[in-house]
Every structure is written in C-alpha cells, then in structure tokens.
Structure 1
Amino acid sequence: MWVRRRVTAILFLLVPCFVLSSSSYAISVIQDQADLTCESAEDCYRAALNQTMQVMPSGSAPVRGDRVQGAIQRLKAVQERHPGSTWAKRAGLLTGLLLAERDPGDAVFYFRVAQRDMPLLGDYIRLWIAEALLALGDASRAAALLEGIPEAVPDTLLANRVAFRGGEAWYRADQCRKAMGLLERAVSLDPQDPVAPSALLQLADCQMRDARVADGQTTFKQIWIRYPQAPEASEAVTRLTRSLGGETWRPTPEEQYGRALAFLNLALHEEAVADIQKFLAAAPGHSKRGEARLKLGTALVRLKRYDQARQVFLDLAADHAAESDDAAVWLARVYLRQGEGDKLLALSQMLSRLALSEEQKATIQMLMGTWLEDQGRYDQALSKYRQAAQAGEGTTQRADALWRIGWLHYRTGHFSEARETFQDLSKGKEDGPYAPQALYWLARASERQKDRRAADLYLKLCRQYAFTYYCQLAQLRTELPGLVQVSAAGAAPAAGTAPSEGRPAVVQDVHYLRAVELKLLGMDQDAARELASLIERYARDRAGLIELSTLLSEAGAYHHALRLARLHFREGLERGGESVPPALWNVAYPTAYLPTIRAHAGPVVDPYLVAAIIREESQYDARAVSRVGAVGLMQVMPATAQAVARKQGLPDIGRDDLFDQETNIRVGVRYMEQLLQQFSGNPVQAVAAYNAGPPIVTTWVAKNGHREPDEFVELIPYQETRQYVKRVLRSYREYRRLGGRGCEVRFLDKVC
C-alpha cells in the first residue's frame, strides 16, 4: 500500500526559498528516554522527521509501538510549539502518514486538515485519504475519492496510480462494472507497473463474473504470457483451467513465443530458451521462425552455451532468411570467443552470398583482424583492419579500425607509422571518443622514440581532456603543471564565463514545488518522479537542468540524477571541455552508499573502487538487470552471488535478494575482495575479472602480464571488457580526487 512506503532520509536540502526564520525556542520531548532540544520550528520538524525515518526502517522487522509513539509525540510537539507555521502543517501531515497503517481513522483526520492547509499536495493527500478509507474497509468512498483526483488536480502525475487503486477499490466494493474500465486503462498506460499482474487478475475475475467468459479467459492468458515471473501467472492458469471445466489449457505457438519474449525482457534466458524451443517445435512454418531462431542464439550466448549458439547461427546464416545477415555477425563473434579462428576466417566465403550492410561487413572484418592480431599474424591483421576502415566509411567502425591499425604499429615497434596514424586519428573527423586515446598513444610512441615533444603532447592531452582516463595515464608518466583542478567542494570556471544570476525558471514550476514538499515529508521516490517529469520541458535550460539533477540526487534518485548529468554535461564532467558548477560533481559521483560499502569492505578493498564499479555497472540503479542477467547496483550474477555466499558462509542468496541494496553491495564487495586477492592486489586485472571472469583474465595475464599496465589494458581482447576497465579506473581516480584523497601511488596497477 502506498502509505506504507518507507519514509527515507533527507541528507541535505538546497531550497532556500522554503527556509523560515523564527525566534529561538527550546523544547523537550521524549525519545527513548532521551531529551531533545531544538531552537526553531524547522529544527524541531527535522528532528521529528529523523525519528520518523528511524521507525520506518527497510526490511520486514516489526517496529516497536513505543518508538512510533515517540515519533508522533515529536511531531505533535512541533504543532503545539509552533502553531500555524508551515513546519507545524508539515508535521501534521507527517503524523497522518505515520498513523495510516496503525490507526487509519485518526490518519484521515490529519489528512483532512492537511487538505485545507497544503493545497499544493492536493492530489497526494486525496490519495492518502483513499488509502486510509480502504484500510478501514470503506471501499466505495475510497473509489469515489480516487476517481475525482484527475478532475480536482488536472496536472497530477498520479493519474495512473489512481486508476490502479481506483480499479482495485471498486473491485473490493463489488462494483465490477466500474472497476473494469479503470483496470484496463491503468494496465494499458503502464503495463510495467508492479501491480499490473494483480490488476489484470482482478479484471479477469470481473469479466468472468460479468459472464464475459471469453474475455476473462483471454485476460488470464495475457497474465501468463506477459508476466511469467509473477505469482499471478500460476494463479491465472489455475483459474483458466477451472473456467475450461478442468480441461488442461495448452498455449498456442504465438502465446508460447510471447511468453519467451517476456522472459527475454527480464533477462531470464534459461526460461526464454525453453519457451523458444517449444515455439520452434510447434510451429515449423511460422513467419516469426527466423526471428525466434536469432533470439534463441543470442540467449544461448548470454548463457555462454556457445556450442549450441554456434549451431543455431550457422543454420540460420545458411538459410538465406531475413535474419541471416545478423546471424553471420553473431556467428563470427562466437567463433572469436571460442578461439576458432580458422572457421572465423572461412566466413569470408559465406559473406559474398549474404546481403550484409557495410557496417556488418566492417564488424566481421574487425573480428577477423582481432583473431589474426592475437595469433601474431600482424600483416594479415593490418589488411583486415584496413578493409574494415574502408567498408566502415561513415560508420562508427571506421574510427575503431583506424585505432587498431595505429595500435598494431605501436605494439610491433613501428613507432613512426604508429605516430602517423595516431596523428591523423587525433586530428581527423573521427575526433570524439578516440581523440584522447590517439593523443596519449601518440605521446607514448614519441616517448619510445625519445622525442622530447612527448611531454608537450601529454600536456596538450590534459588541457583538452582533463578528466579522461588517458589524462590520468599522462599524469602518471610526467609532471603536468598548469592544469585546472576541480574538487567536489569547488570548481574553477572557464575563461570568459560568469556565474548565472537569479534562480532558474524551473523552481517556479508546480511540479518542482511539489517535489520540494514531498522531499520535506521524506517521500523521496515521489519527489523524484515530480522532478523527472520536468526534464524534457527544461531540456534547453542549463540552469534548470542543474537544479533538477541536484535535487534528484538529494532526493535519493541517484540513478536519474546521474543519467541527467551525463546526458547534458558529460563533456565537462568526463572530458573537461567545458566548465560545470560544483554541485554537479556530487551528482556525477554519488557517495551515498559509501557508509554501506565501508561497513563490508576490509583492508583489501578501497571503498572508492567499489563506488566506481557501481557507477559504471548500473549507474546507481538498484533495479538494473543487464542483458546477461546481472542484477542490481554492482550487477552481480546470481550464480556468482551463490558462490560468494557459500565461500563466505552466508545464507543462500537468490536473484530477487540482489535487488536489495545492502545485500548486493555486501556480495559485490566480497567478490571484489576475492578477485584482488587472486590477482595480487592488481586493480587492473581484478576489475577485468569482475567483468569477464577470472579464468579468461588469468590467460591474459599469462600472455601479456609482463607488459606495462596501460599496454596490458589495450591488449585485452574483449572490447567490452577493455572499455569497462578504462571507465572504472577513470571513475576510481576521480572519486579519490573529488574526495580529497588523491592517489598515493603513481602506478595504474596499484590500489591508491
């Protein structure tokens, strides 16, 4: 229920327009037999809010009644000592929220008062009243109140939530005719809402009661197809079977395939593979057979069942179906991953028979070049890279191919040729993600040739791209004077810029104002939703975006804030091409989980390294699921979590447990500790193993471990892992710098 949601912490608030001045007061209220003294209405309210947070903890443990009563007493003290103040009105509303579960009748009284005192939150207060009425069993009044919210507050963001709850309320009031329309609309508007399966089950029940048996059966099937992981799916099949007079229901091939797609969207690849195979067996001539086979192959790749995937792609590529071209690219990837270079090179004979796009051709040529380079067949590799550069003209593959050509010259000691290629790449139209990289290796090649201009190139690199991984490498190699330094506490403005005057227009928007009030009530999730609704509207307002991203971060919506900052301010934050205000550094490098990380990290693991992994793995999205099925903040694979739990003597950890932030961090930190120990404290190798797995990284270390750390990174065969290592190491050193710690070592392969 909405009113039962956790009231979360407010760490700090930068909204001066709401700060009220008042004469000093000293009050004392009981809190676990301890006295509290506060001086102003705001101080007293915030102290009460803090205790409210403490009695609404995460987890399922029951809260002691005396602790709830203590929080309520504090809130009442604010109202008694500061009657009529804004803070007293907030205290009254928060009292209602605290009472909603334990005493919904009293909660309604407080909500009614707040409805008069705080019209800005009219839609939320009406929702909370309705929730309380539902708890009291008055479903009809609750439903009527919910239906009136969109009309009373036309700009509300609660319309869909109201539809879900209104449909449920009419359902509980045995008013199915009224419930069905709301439930259908709610699911159509937000099919991913967590309560959607339950809403569909109620809808199907109403349809059956209304003698719309065929519609009810269709809805039961939709639950099974679209929400296969939900408990309601098995219940839907049970009720469907009952409606068929006990006859076993057998899904059609289309229904089986729809369920498989739902599993794929959830990254539940084992289940998806099983359903796709059932579909293929049941529908040999189906029009979606080629699409299904391609999805089957990619799911098998995610499961690392490469032998099976290879056969699927091989058969599909040979069938000249619409998906054959994509299958050929996937087949090339599998051959490379399995080390079957001869078969990879033999694909050249197949390519002429397929209608591959230029980018697909370039991709396969690049994969062939990677194999040849790894085997030391450098001249042939260069030929493939040059073909890829030519085939990829105008695509993202061209710059990658040019980079590989320059790097291959460098690693084989042809430094003059390498310098020429890197020079072209750093100056050409491919300037972008490869420019810092090309400049760095241009300097390294110059250094190898004992050219004194190498130092100038390092300086140029860091002046243009101060916050990149490659500038960090440059700083490890030489002293670079005159660079702008930025910390979380302050930033040096770019030349010719001046601080903005006045407050951005967004702070006058009603959704912004609602977000501020919700945040002051500890309703951070809803505050974040109100703020997120403004992003598109103020996309061209730089000051407004800064304000939004800052308040999103303060509201605990670290993922949304970080994405917003990266989308609009990446150049300044991660390359250094423009000035950004100090507040954005806190947004771009969240530290809220550092206490949790430190609680689980021993002396081996630097908490800032874990923070960097979270930043690059999930962008601080606790609900993130990767395409291969990694879960949560640190993107832990369920199998890895189980292995770590067994080794550490922890209870069994299931997939759903990994969505819990503390559990995910605990497991991820322990796993990183194991990796650092396995790879002798080398963060480069440990981070690579976190992404690609320890066995394969062990082979890379055996082959290239003698190379300098920056060269080792560039020699990582998997592009995904290579880029991942660079991103994490960059973020790691940025976290250290912004935290005022710096890095005590001048070696990439040492923990700071």
Structure 2
Amino acid sequence: MLKPEPTQKKPARSRKSSTGKPSKKQWLPRSKTALTLAGLGLGGLMLGGATAAVWMSDSLQLPFVSGGGFESASTDPLAKETLALSLASLPPAQRTEQLEAIAQGAPSLDRNRARYLLAVDLIEQDRGGSALPWLEGLEADYPELAAYILTRRGQAYAAMGNAEQAVATWQAAVEQYGDQPVAAESLFFLGRSNSQYHDQLMTQFPAHPRSVEVALTRLQQNPNQPNLMLLLARHGHYLSDIGSVLDRLRTEFAGQLTPDDWEAIAFAYWEIQRYGSAAETYTRAEPTALNLYRAARGAQLDERASIARERYQAVLQAFPEEEEAGLALIRLAALAQTPAQAIPFLDRAIEQFPDRAAEALKAKADAFLQLNSPDTALMIQQQVLTQHSDSDAAAEIRWQQVEQHVRSNNLQSAWEWAWQLVEENPNHEHAPRAGFWVGKWATQLDRPEEARQAYEYVLAEYPESYYAWRSATFLGWDVGNFGTVRDKLPEVVKPEVRPEVLAGSTSLRELHRLGQTRDAWSLWQVEFTNRVQPTVAEQYTDGLMRLGVNDNLDGIFMLASLDFRDRPEERQEVIQLQQQIDYWQALYPFPYAESIKQWSQQRQLNPMLVMALIRQESRFEPKIRSVVGATGLMQVMPETADWVASQISLTQYNLEDPNDNINLGTWYLDYTHQEYADNSLFAVASYNAGPGNVASWMGRFDYSDPDQFIEQIPFNETKGYVKAVFENYWNYMRLYNPELSQQLASHSDTHSSLVSAQP
C-alpha cells in the first residue's frame, strides 16, 4: 500500500461520545471560552515550530479511494462459528481426536471443516494415504474449497509415491478451476516436470507467490531476464533482497522499461523505504500529480533540498489545483532558506487550499516569530484559535501554551489551557495527555474531586491510551504501577477463533478461518489488486493476512495506519472497525506466547510486560536488526548477549532464534529491574537508553514524581519508548484480562462496545 512518510504522526482517532459518563462541561474552567493569547507571552509558541504542519500535511500520502464498506462480509454463507473453528488454532496433535469425532458425525459445515483440517494435518505429516479418505468426495459437500480439495488430494497421492495419480488430479484441478487463483498451486506442482505449466502459471497469475518462486528459481539459472525481474518488482515486495532486483532494473535495463514499469519500480522502492532511489525512479514514470510529488518528497527525505524545491515547483506548475499542490506549498515553505521566503508559499496555501489553512497559518506565525515580529505572530496564532478552533494546528498552539505555563509554574493557567484543548480538540493526539495532566494538576491545586473526574474522563474517552493506564493507577485500580507492575501475574484469555477478514473471496475468508494462513495469504496476493489505493476493508484484510504469515511488522503497520484515514467516509469506516474487539486483538497479537510465558516465569517478570516490550522493540520480527546491530525479538545487542550468556553459562545461542533471544532479553530486563529496586519505569528506560543514561537523569532530575520525570527525559526516543511499552502493556491487559476488561467497560462506552460485541 502507499505508506505514510517517515515524519508522519499518528492522528488521534475519532471516537464515540461517552453518554452517561462524567461530562467535562460540569467541571471545565468557567473562563475557558475567554482564554486568548494576549498577555501570555510568546515563549511557549516557539516550542515545536511547525510540528502541526508536518504531520497534518502528511495525511495526503494515503490517497485511498472511498467506499469498500463491510457489506460483503455479512453475505458470506460460511460466516458461522463451529466447533472445528475453535480447534483451528491448536497444533495438530492437540486437535486430532476432537476433529475425528466431528468428521464422523452427520453432514454439516462443521463436518466439512473437520475433514479438511484432518487431511491437511496428515498431508503435512507426509501421511497422504491416511488423508485421502477424509478428502474423498469432499468437494461436492464443500464447494467453496473444491479447488483446494483437489490440490490437496494431488499432494496426498504424491506423498504416497503415486506420481501418476497426483499429476492426473492436479490436471483435473486446472481443467475445472483454471480461471481461479487456486489453480496456481496445481500449475506449480505440474511445472516441476513440465516447464510449460510454470510458463502458464506466471502468465496467468503473476502476483501469486508461486509465480514469484518460479521467477526466482529461473533468475538463479539465468540472471539476465528483465521480464522476470519486473514480475518481482511488481509482486515481490516482501522478498528480503528485492532492493538488488530493483537496482539492476534501473541500471542494466533502463532502455527496455516503460513509464508503467518505472512507476512499479518506484513504488517498490517507496515500500522498502529507499526514498532517494524512489525519487529518481518516479521522474521516469508517467508525470501524474502523485508521481511528481513523490519525486520531490523522496529527494527531500534524501536530504537534497535544492532538487526537492525544483520538483515541488514542477508539481505546482503541472497540477496547480490538485491536493498534491497544496502539500507542495507547505513543503516549499519548510524548505525555504529564510522565513521571509516561506511566507508567500504559505499565503498561497491559505488562499487556494482551505483544508490546509490552519496548518499554513500556524507555520506563518512561526515564520514571523523567527523574523522577530511577535505582534504579527500573536495575531495569526489568535486567528487559528478563533477561526480554526477545532484544527490540529490550534491544538498544537494550546499545548504549547500548556508547556509554557508549566515551565513558569502557573498550574492554574496550564490546567485551563489543557481543558480548552480537550474541549475543542478531543480527537487530537495530545487530548488524552492533556486530560491526564489536568487530573495531576487538580490534585496539586487541592481539587481532588476534579482530579478524579479527569482520570475517569480519560478512561472513558481514551481507553486505549497510555494515559488511561496512568489514570487507572491514580484511581486505585489493580493494574500495576511503575513500582509493582513487574510482579503482576494477570489472567489472560485469548480468543478461540480468528477475526473475520472484510475483503476477498469466500474461499479466502474460509481459509483464513481455518487457520490455513499461508494458503489464504497466497490467494490474497492475487486478489489484492488495489495496493496503491486500498479501501479500509482491503487494508484491514491485508494486515490480517500479513499477521497470519508472521509478517508482523508490516501487519501491525497496516492495521495501525488505518488511523491515518482522514476523509469523512473513510473515518466512519475506521470508527466502525475500531468498535470491534477483533481489530484491537489483531493490533495486539500474541506471537511466541509460550516462550514469553516460560522465560517470564523463570525471571519472575510479568509476561504482559515482556510481551509489551517485544511489541515495541521488534513488532515480533525474530530476524530484525537495528542500524547499530541490535537483533531479534527483544533487540539484544551482540555484546550484551555475550555478557548475559556468560552470566547464565549459555555456551551456544542464536539471537535470531526466538527462544534464545527471549531467554537473553528477559535476563537483561530482570537485571535492569534489579538495578532499580524493581521499578519498571527505570528498568524499561534503562533497557532502551542504557543504565548510564538513566543514572545520569536520576541525578539531574527529581524522580519522586514518575510522570514528571518521564517528561524530563532528554532523549525523545526513550521518552516515547517508555510510554509506548506501558501503553502496550495496558492494551494487552484491557483486551485479554477479563477482570480489567469488565471494570473498564463500566467506565467507558468505547471499551464497553468491544466487550459486548464478544461472542
């Protein structure tokens, strides 16, 4: 899909009103509506510069088509839960007996599912003869998977050594279902003995992973085949070495490429985050508004400012009324060599692109501050607050005022500005933070009832946030505080069935339900033709497909980045989706749960804290490496691993092995806890920044108030890391711990809708 740019912030999600929960209007400051910038000084306005301009403008990078909806899921005739589905996620040895009992019962959907699962398990155990009886005649009873049943039957014959019958069965599958992507599997097997079938496979289903596999094999035999390299460029983005394929196409076969080819290569570069290469490649593609913009933006991200400026100007000249032109004006202002040069671009954006007016006005005010014209800047800031009060730019201004008054120890004014932000900008990313600090400041101002209401409000309206966890701790909930969370051993109840996908064929949906994740993902590669501009339903489905094959980094990204949808009709679809617990449980998955549980227990660590840290460190990617060499699930540095291994007498290990990595990582997390008297704030911060830095900060800052200490951490990465880990922890708890989930449901309609929707 068309990924957001690396500077893009996560927009806050729209949310339902909290009917029946504490009303903020009951306790907002009476003077809220009268607040202005006059007399408050401009020091705070300097903070953050044009931050709002950066993240608001980036929303253009997801120009999704509207529509898609979720109607098709409700028309699926197989969208019924059965006992076999509850067994689909279990290992074969744990489900065989129950599946056999179902498979021997009366004809039903459950019986069909059980027979198919039993056959698949047996084939994968190389017991084809035992699988055949379960497949016999199944295609007539289970037509939605008929083509897969034939393919599996061929595999069963092959496992028995009956090659002739296997070929005949696969040929029958191609003859009967040759126009369906599942035929790709039979074509692949047939092609092992007759290369013409592989030719047919790549011609008919180039996006199928089997075609990618064949192309790779043929390129190993003869690397100078640009047609096969183009197939990989279009359909093999998930390959670890796809970058080298793209490089060869650009350098060795440029004369043979069409504008459409160049666009496909550029898109692939963008997907793997090689923005400089993408920028140059987009210049060879068809000069659409988006392609020209990306040629400019890629150059900017590659730190080639002069080239980026020229290319943004080309966007303005060729497509002066397109959305990309408005964004180009914002970019040109940011790239201007002096503040005075930025102002004409901003004025043009304000005049021609109303949707960017607030963003451009704030950037213009920042420019006048740099020009030492505080009165003009103040006037423009006030214009943002009065004419665009609900904008993200206004929220940024309000939060800057909050920070200024905190620095001057004027908590009453900070409190008032924070609640103006919550009232006027409830969907901004700062809103939960502002609401929480209102509670903290109300306590310091000796207004305990207002503090309680503030914490309850954060829980009600922002139940997924880090600040909901902090609010729960101040309300006395048994969810673990920084000093106690290590020792918690929470009950965890995971769902028995997989979340439903919202796009794709009936066959794909059924494969996904059955836990046939590789087959479902392969089919999705063919069916998902709208990769650049997916609907909400398609993007959600793609996220689930990726998670199914342990492409967890991109899978979680696909789900989380639905929050970037800002078109009204798409926002409504995202809101609808986020009111389903399936969405949240997919966003917070449980890979490697057994290893995490084992080593957490051995180190006497809260397993949900370990899960939360791994999600933040690696998104559950076992082979991921950072630029400094940190490796694996818990991002352990090789030198740290050597030291830890010497402490536990571990002579052999592999940091890319999940079990080894969790063993070493949990030992080190236990070590950081011991260094700080089991305080998880300092332990987690130390895990990210190192014990030396944390010790230095503890010497510089007052750490009696942990929330204030976090805000003073001078490393933005570590500050965000600490909050992210504990937000992860809170979400795992609220989604999978029944007691907390029910307690939160009594405070939050948003969370209550998740609980009530569970089967």
Q: TM-score, normalised by structure 1?
A: 0.55
Distance in 2, Cα, partners of 1:382 & 1:183: 66
Match of 2:136, SS? helix
Q: Which residue pairs with 2:92 in the alignment?
A: 52
CA contact (8 A) 1:134 1:142 kept: no
Structure 2 CA distance for partners of 1:439 and 1:146, relative to 1, 3 Å: same
- What letter corresponds to residue 683 of structure 1 in structure 2? S
Cα deviation, 1:621-650, whole Å, max 9, x if unaligned, reads: 65897998999995x55xx45344333337
Shift in Å, 1:125 = 0.8
CA contact (8 A) 2:613 2:725 kept: yes
CA contact (8 A) 1:525 1:557 kept: no
Shift in Å, 1:479 = 5.6
Q: Which residue pairs with 1:265 in the alignment?
A: 271
Q: 2:168 aligns with which of 121, 137, 141?
A: 141
Does 2:204 match 1:199? no
- What letter corresponds to residue 448 of structure 1 in structure 2? Q
Structure 2 CA distance for partners of 1:668 and 1:263, relative to 1, 3 Å: farther
Does 2:205 match 1:186? yes
Alignment of 1:590-629 (within 5 A): 593-601=592-600, 602-603=602-603, 605-614=605-614, 622=621
Q: Which residue pairs with 1:351 in the alignment?
A: 342
Q: Which residue pairs with 2:68 in the alignment?
A: none
Does 2:722 match 1:725? yes
Shift in Å, 1:328 = 12
Q: Which residue pairs with 1:573 in the alignment?
A: none
Distance in 2, Cα, partners of 1:693 & 1:382: 45
Distance in 2, Cα, partners of 1:16 & 1:512: 12
RMSD (CA atoms): 6.8
Q: Which residue pairs with 1:645 in the alignment?
A: 641
Shift in Å, 1:697 = 6.0
Does 2:135 match 1:111? yes
Cα deviation, 1:252-296, whole Å, max 9, x if unaligned, reads: 4989998787466345x6xx87x789999x9xxxx9999678647
Match of 2:603, SS? coil
Quote the sequence identity (%): 18
Q: 1:714 aligns with which of 711, 715, 724?
A: 711
CA contact (8 A) 1:389 1:397 kept: no
Alignment of 1:479-498 (within 5 A): none
Does 2:181 match 1:160? yes
Structure 2 residue runs of 5 or longer lacking an equivalent are 1-78, 316-325, 350-355, 479-489, 494-499, 564-574, 741-759
Shift in Å, 1:406 = 0.8
Structure 2 CA distance for partners of 1:511 and 1:614, relative to 1, 3 Å: farther
Distance in 1, Cα, partners of 2:670 & 2:333: 35
Distance in 1, Cα, partners of 2:697 & 2:238: 39
Shift in Å, 1:414 = 1.5
Structure 2 CA distance for partners of 1:90 and 1:428, relative to 1, 3 Å: closer
- What letter corresponds to residue 203 of structure 2 in structure 1? E
Distance in 2, Cα, partners of 1:133 & 1:464: 58
Larger Rg: 1
Match of 1:126, SS? helix
Structure 2 CA distance for partners of 1:231 and 1:315, relative to 1, 3 Å: closer
CA contact (8 A) 1:641 1:653 kept: no
CA contact (8 A) 1:511 1:530 kept: no
Q: Which residue pairs with 1:123 in the alignment?
A: 147
Distance in 2, Cα, partners of 1:143 & 1:592: 35
Shift in Å, 1:413 = 0.3
Shift in Å, 1:665 = 4.3
Shift in Å, 1:231 = 9.0
- Equivalent residues, number: 579
- What letter corresponds to residue 52 of structure 1 in structure 2? P
Cα deviation, 1:74-118, whole Å, max 9, x if unaligned, reads: 799869997989988777655543146635466455533434565
CA contact (8 A) 2:512 2:520 kept: yes
Q: Which residue pairs with 2:434 in the alignment?
A: 438
Match of 2:467, SS? helix
Does 2:123 match 1:102? no
- What letter corresponds to residue 641 of structure 2 in structure 1? A
Cα deviation, 1:434-482, whole Å, max 9, x if unaligned, reads: 333323323333333334554454365256337343344344445699x
CA contact (8 A) 1:426 1:438 kept: yes
Shift in Å, 1:610 = 1.8
CA contact (8 A) 1:78 1:87 kept: no
Match of 2:93, SS? helix
Cα deviation, 1:108-147, whole Å, max 9, x if unaligned, reads: 5553343456555323211212334566545753552332
- What letter corresponds to residue 611 of structure 2 in structure 1? A
Instruction: Tell me which of the two structures has the higher relative contact order, counting C-alpha pairs closer than 8 angstroms and 6 or more residues apart.
Output: 2
- What letter corresponds to residue 421 of structure 2 in structure 1? L
- What letter corresponds to residue 160 of structure 1 in structure 2? P
Alignment of 1:59-458 (within 5 A): 93=116, 96-97=119-120, 98-99=122-123, 102=126, 104=128, 107-108=131-132, 110-115=134-139, 118-119=142-143, 121-132=145-156, 136-138=162-164, 141-148=168-175, 150=177, 159-163=180-184, 165-174=185-194, 176=196, 179-187=198-206, 189-190=207-208, 193=209, 195-201=210-216, 216-220=225-229, 223=232, 250-252=252-254, 262=268, 265-266=271-272, 295=298, 298=301, 312-313=303-304, 316=307, 322=313, 348=339, 351-352=342-343, 359=359, 362=362, 393=388, 395-451=391-447, 453-458=449-454
Larger deviation, residues 728-737 vs 472-481: 472-481
Cα deviation, 1:363-416, whole Å, max 9, x if unaligned, reads: 7988999xx9xxxxxx99999899778679575343133112212212320123
Structure 2 CA distance for partners of 1:412 and 1:160, relative to 1, 3 Å: farther
Structure 2 CA distance for partners of 1:527 and 1:199, relative to 1, 3 Å: closer
Structure 2 CA distance for partners of 1:161 and 1:613, relative to 1, 3 Å: farther
CA contact (8 A) 2:299 2:305 kept: no
Structure 2 CA distance for partners of 1:225 and 1:563, relative to 1, 3 Å: closer
Match of 1:102, SS? coil
Match of 2:436, SS? helix
CA contact (8 A) 1:608 1:735 kept: yes
Structure 2 CA distance for partners of 1:367 and 1:624, relative to 1, 3 Å: farther
Distance in 2, Cα, partners of 1:289 & 1:525: 37
CA contact (8 A) 1:488 1:582 kept: no
- What letter corresponds to residue 714 of structure 1 in structure 2? E
Distance in 1, Cα, partners of 2:666 & 2:379: 43
Distance in 1, Cα, partners of 2:597 & 2:281: 48
Structure 2 CA distance for partners of 1:718 and 1:262, relative to 1, 3 Å: farther
Match of 2:168, SS? helix
Distance in 2, Cα, partners of 1:221 & 1:555: 24
Distance in 1, Cα, partners of 2:418 & 2:471: 16
Structure 2 CA distance for partners of 1:363 and 1:198, relative to 1, 3 Å: farther
Distance in 2, Cα, partners of 1:292 & 1:578: 34
Q: Which residue pairs with 2:751 in the alignment?
A: none
Structure 2 CA distance for partners of 1:172 and 1:725, relative to 1, 3 Å: same
Match of 1:413, SS? coil
Shift in Å, 1:609 = 0.9
Distance in 2, Cα, partners of 1:476 & 1:141: 66
Structure 1 residue runs of 5 or longer lacking an equivalent are 1-14, 20-41, 56-70, 242-248, 300-311, 334-343, 373-378, 482-486, 491-505, 569-575, 743-752
Distance in 2, Cα, partners of 1:319 & 1:672: 49
